[in-house]
Chains A and B, each alone.
Chain A
């Protein structure tokens, strides 16, 4: 992802101007950073959360619900197609 452009970003003509720009850039980034919580940054949210260990019962329950929902969905779709006929 492209880093944001700081204000007054100009090509430095002299070391003095370059120093001033760098300081402005740092201040701008500091101000932006302080308004966000650390785990709000894209760099942080891009890291996946660890996988949860589901119990056998929970996994079986989820699969049972999933299969049930698919069966009922197919019934609704069948009824929908039958209506068209």
Chain B
């Protein structure tokens, strides 16, 4: 990293002091070196996948899957079948930059912005992240609650399950252990695909909808809400913080960037397929009053509606999928908050550090989850509105984070030959403009309607 290079002094030739975090990371890297040395390609891929898949599948969270199902229930398959993969392609462009910056600089997004562009931008970013993460985490607990309500289990169980998972995954004191547990859980996002297959969609309709038709009509604000929440369901600030920090914590280096790209692409493909699964499930309800389903109402949401249309097994799969989606997102979003807290304060921020050495990191990880869990236990809390607006708020706040990410990825002092190419910049700027316009249009339209300045 040329920005930190100093004239070589004799002291610089000595290896730096080894910490427990270094030792744990080195142990993981030794397996990568062995696999690379012995040309064990699949094993090497297995060792290096993680942050990309977790970011993408983590974003296939409860509110996202309900947003996709709501898209299908309200408008059918048309338009959204090609739109969701396009959004994941956009997410790939952003997340690949995060992975690359993390692998080259070995630093998280929060600390790089803070150090490179100043405290104001660093703290603004951390503030955006904290607000959107807290709101989204509340929505994740609601998602678990909706899923468990199908099995007649109450909100207390949802809170206990979510918090127990956070504590359990943190208990090992190793990044590798945490990553593998969450990856294992993320596999169950495939339940949405299984549910979609079981609702027996008409293949011809899916193929026909690849032509972006029919374009959704109806209420303009509702359409904007769905577009903004669908975008917010695919690219969010927490993903940027998470993947860059996780890539650094995993110990990725510029030599691993190729595998990091495979990891991110695999996450995007799986995320798109599973997201389409939720969309297809929702579309099965289109002619069965789908538009009237309150996706965030425990006991009267998509699992119950699917049970009536496609049978109890499909309803069960969708309910379990919501529990999984909420649980994985709680783990990844709490982790992104913890990384950001540690990076901005300058404290230790690694799963490879013990709680004694990284107290703030562990406290933020658990604390933000506890705070969100508390909200869903408050009687009469506006859970439905919180969940609906979580993705929209993320979409609105995203452009600043993306602009700073593009600036970091173009910083030749930091990135050297790994800096963005012109083509990547063109696509990234188009993504920022698209996200910014959709978020802003929804925000302005909603405000004007709420203030009765235009008709509803």
Secondary structure of the B contact surface, majority rule: helix
A20 within 8 A of B: no
Given contacts A52-B116, A69-B400, is CB(A33)–CB(B439) below 8 Å? no
The answer to whether B212 has its CB under 8 Å from any CB of chain A is: no
Q: Contact check: which of B19, B353, B404, B443 meets A76 at CB < 8 Å?
A: B443
CB < 8 Å: which of A4, A49, A80 contacts B107? A49
Q: Does A75 contact B (CB under 8 A)?
A: yes
CB distance from B162 to the nearest CB of A (A): 23
Whether the Cβ atoms of A40 and B396 lie closer than 8 Å is no
Question: Do residues B20 and A69 form an inter-chain contact, with CB atoms below 8 A?
Answer: no
Option from B385, B392, B403 in Cβ contact (under 8 Å) with A65: B403
A57 within 8 A of B: no
Q: Which of A22-37 contact B (CB under 8 A)?
A: 29, 31-33, 35-37
Q: How far is the CA of A2 from the CA of B18 in the complex (A)?
A: 9
Please state if A35 and B253 are interface contacts (CB–CB under 8 Å): no
Mask: chain B, 440-456; 1 = CB below 8 Å from A; 0 = not: 10111011011100000
Q: B446 contacts A79, CB within 8 Å?
A: yes
Q: Does A1 contact B (CB under 8 A)?
A: yes
Assess whether A50 is interfacial by the CB under 8 Å rule: yes
- By a CB distance below 8 angstroms, the chain A residues around B118 are 51
Interface residue count on the A side (C-beta < 8 Å): 44
Q: Whole-angstrom distance from the CB of B237 to the nearest CB of chain A?
A: 11
CB-CB contacts of A69-84 with B at 8 A, as 1s and 0s? 1001101111110111
Chain A contacts for B363, CB-based, 8 A: none
Q: Which residues of B contact A66 (CB under 8 A)?
A: 124, 400
Verify if A9 is at the interface (C-beta below 8 Å from B). Answer: no
**Cα-based distance from A49 to B449 in the complex (angstroms):** 46
The answer to whether B29 has its CB under 8 Å from any CB of chain A is: yes
Q: Mark B16-30, 1 if CB is under 8 A from A, else 0.
A: 111111110111011
Contact A78 B447 (CB under 8 A): yes
- CA of A64 to CA of B107 in the docked complex: distance in angstroms? 27
Q: Are B443 and A38 in contact (CB under 8 A)?
A: no
Tell me if A60 is interfacial: C-beta within 8 Å of chain B. no
Q: Are B29 and A69 in contact (CB under 8 A)?
A: no
Verify B16–A48 contact, CB threshold 8 A: no
| Total cross-chain contacts (CB, 8 A) | 153
Is B411 a contact of A52 with CB atoms below 8 Å? yes
Q: Is the CB of B3 within 8 A of A73?
A: no
0/1 string, A41-56, CB within 8 A of B gives 1: 1111111111110100
Residues of A within 8 A of B446 (CB): 75-76, 79
Asked whether A62 lies within 8 Å of B4 as measured between CB atoms, the reply is no
How many angstroms from the CA of A40 to the CA of B16 in the assembled complex? Answer: 10
Q: Are B4 and A49 in touch, CB under 8 angstroms?
A: yes
Q: Are A2 and B22 in contact (CB under 8 A)?
A: no
Given A65-B400, A76-B393, is A39 in contact with B116 using a C-beta cutoff of 8 Å?
Answer: no
CB distance from B445 to the nearest CB of A (A): 9
Q: With the chains together, A62 CA to B125 CA distance in Å?
A: 12
- Asked if residues B116 and A51 are in contact (CB atoms below 8 Å), the reply is yes
CB neighbors of A among B116-153 (8 A): 116-118, 121, 124
Q: Within the assembled complex, what's the spacing in Å between the Cα atoms of A58 and B406?
A: 13
Interface residue? B86 (CB, 8 A): no
A49 to B447 Cα, complex, angstroms: 41
List chain B residues, Cβ under 8 A from A69.
396-397, 399-400
Give complex CA distance A4, B25 in Å: 12
A3 at the interface (CB under 8 A from B): yes
Residues of B at the A interface (CB closer than 8 Å) are 1, 3-4, 15-23, 25-27, 29-30, 33, 105-107, 112, 115-118, 121, 124, 248, 251, 253, 346, 348, 353-354, 356-357, 382, 385, 389, 392-393, 396-397, 399-400, 403-404, 407, 411, 413-414, 439-440, 442-444, 446-447, 449-451
The 5 tightest CB contacts between A and B, nearest first, are: A75-B447, A43-B16, A79-B446, A82-B450, A72-B443
Taking A36-B26, A47-B4, A73-B396 as known contacts, 14 extra A-B pairs with beta carbons closer than 8 A to each other, sorted by chain A number, are: A1-B21, A36-B25, A39-B1, A40-B25, A42-B21, A45-B106, A51-B117, A68-B440, A69-B397, A75-B443, A76-B446, A76-B447, A79-B447, A83-B385
In the complex, 17 of the A-B residue pairs with CB atoms within 8 angstroms, ordered by the A residue number, are A2-B354, A2-B357, A3-B19, A36-B25, A36-B251, A38-B15, A40-B25, A40-B251, A41-B22, A42-B19, A42-B348, A43-B19, A49-B3, A51-B117, A73-B397, A76-B442, A83-B385
